[in-house]
Structure formats: structure tokens, C-alpha cells
A and B are shown apart, each in its own frame.
Chain A
Amino acid sequence: GESVGLHLPTLSVQEGDNSIINCAYSNSASDYFIWYKQESGKGPQFIIDIRSNMDKRQGQRVTVLLNKTVKHLSLQIAATQPGDSAVYFCAERTGGYQKVTFGTGTKLQVIP
């Protein structure tokens, strides 16, 4: 499932540190934003989502922040673990629940 050959931004983080993955989205009409994680050899897996009328949402060890003014989305992972190593995609939903557009992804490498 890895995007082999795609030049992905890479974030290297020491195990135990916090990670922040950023994403710029394009459509101001998007009403829903989602973060997905894709491990090698697997399909993307849902992590957390946020509606456009919110600016922050927390899950287990993860927090998503939304800044609609600058069309920016971020995913914060607390106490990063080796199992967090993967490619992370942000996605935006526009025009109904079926139109989900994905970003290019960021590769997170956790250094033990």
C-alpha cells in the first residue's frame, strides 16, 4: 500500500516525542476533514475526523486542528510510538459524503 516512488514529505520523530503533521486543503466549501494512516502493504485506515464548524477534536493520543482562515489542517500524535510509522493522508469532503479527496501524504518515521 505504500506510495512507492512518490516524493513524499518525510517527518522523522524520536520515539516518545510528539508529532505534528500538516496539511493544506484547497476547497473552502469542504465541510468535513479526515486523517487516514496507511501502513506498508495495507489500505488507508481512518484515524480521526473533524467537521468544518469545529477547530479542534481530540481522540486517543491524536488531536486534529482546523484553521479555516488559512485552509490548514494538522494532526498531532502524542508520545509517538514505532507503530505510528506510516504514511498519513489528510482528506477533505466536498459536495456530499461520497466526494472525498485525498492529499499527497506525509511519511512519518519513528526513530527508536
Chain B
Amino acid sequence: ETGVTQTPRHLVMGMTNKKSLKCEQHLGHNAMYWYKQSAKKPLELMFVYNFKEQTENNSVPSRFSPECPNSSHLFLHLHTLQPEDSALYLCASSQEQITGELFFGEGSRLTVL
């Protein structure tokens, strides 16, 4: 148990569907992240939120829409995805300190049909 919980663990959706991934951290951290892990590439940083404010958007297509209502919760809203978006989506959190230690959830495995 890492203190970062992601739901759902598995999601299958069609290209016209709208779904959301949820992440919750119980560690009191101030920063939260979305990473994408696909079969063809290394872990890719998508978004960073620090104290609920988005501080990084790594050129992510607009069909991915993040939401961070508070420092403990992070959502990734999905709409009109493509099959190539199928991947493991990992949420992470960190304290606001000068280290690189990220605490990851177990991920949400997304399949787009």
C-alpha cells in the first residue's frame, strides 16, 4: 500500500465514450502527477499539479482533461480517445521538497476499442 489509490484499475471504453480516472492520496502531499506508461515508450509525464494549480502540461492532447479539486484528489477526464491512447495511466504524489521521490499508485489500465 503506497498511500496513493487509483480507480478503476481496469477500464475499457469506445472512442466515443466519456470516462474518468480517479486518484486519491492519503500522504498529505502537495503535488500530484499523471504519467502514461505504454508499450512503446518509457513513462511519460502528462500533468503536474502543485497545491491544486496545474504547473505542467507536457503537450498532452485536449482529449485528456485533468482536474484537481484539492491536494488529495486528482482526476483525468477522457473523451473521444484513440486506440493508441491505450496504456497504463499512473498517478503519483510528492511532498514539496527538493527530492525526486514520487509515490505511485498501481495504475489504471485503459483499453480503447
**CB < 8 Å neighbour of B102 from A5, A6, A41, A44:** A44
Instruction: List B contacts of A93 (CB < 8 A).
Output: 100
Chain B: interface residue total (CB-CB under 8 A): 31
**CB < 8 Å neighbour of B45 from A6, A33, A49, A100:** A100
- A5 in contact with B106 (CB, 8 Å): no
Instruction: List B contacts of A102 (CB < 8 A).
Output: 42-43
- A44 in contact with B43 (CB, 8 Å): yes
- B42 in contact with A100 (CB, 8 Å): no
Which residues 26-49 of B have a CB within 8 angstroms of A?
31, 33, 37, 39-43, 45, 48
Which residues 39-94 of A have a CB within 8 angstroms of B?
41-46, 49, 89, 91, 93
Nearest CB of chain A from residue B49's CB, rounded to whole Å:
9
Complex: A100 Cα to B40 Cα, angstroms: 19
A43-B90, A43-B105, A43-B107 as given contacts; A100 in contact with B39, CB under 8 Å: no
Among B60-68, B72-80, B91-99, the one that faces the other chain is: B91-99
Complex: A41 Cα to B88 Cα, angstroms: 10
- Nearest opposing residue in chain A for B56, CB measure: A98
26 contacts between A and B (CB under 8 A): A1-B37, A1-B88, A1-B90, A1-B106, A1-B107, A5-B39, A34-B101, A42-B106, A43-B2, A43-B106, A44-B43, A44-B90, A44-B102, A49-B100, A91-B100, A93-B100, A97-B96, A97-B100, A98-B33, A98-B55, A98-B56, A99-B45, A100-B45, A100-B100, A100-B102, A104-B42
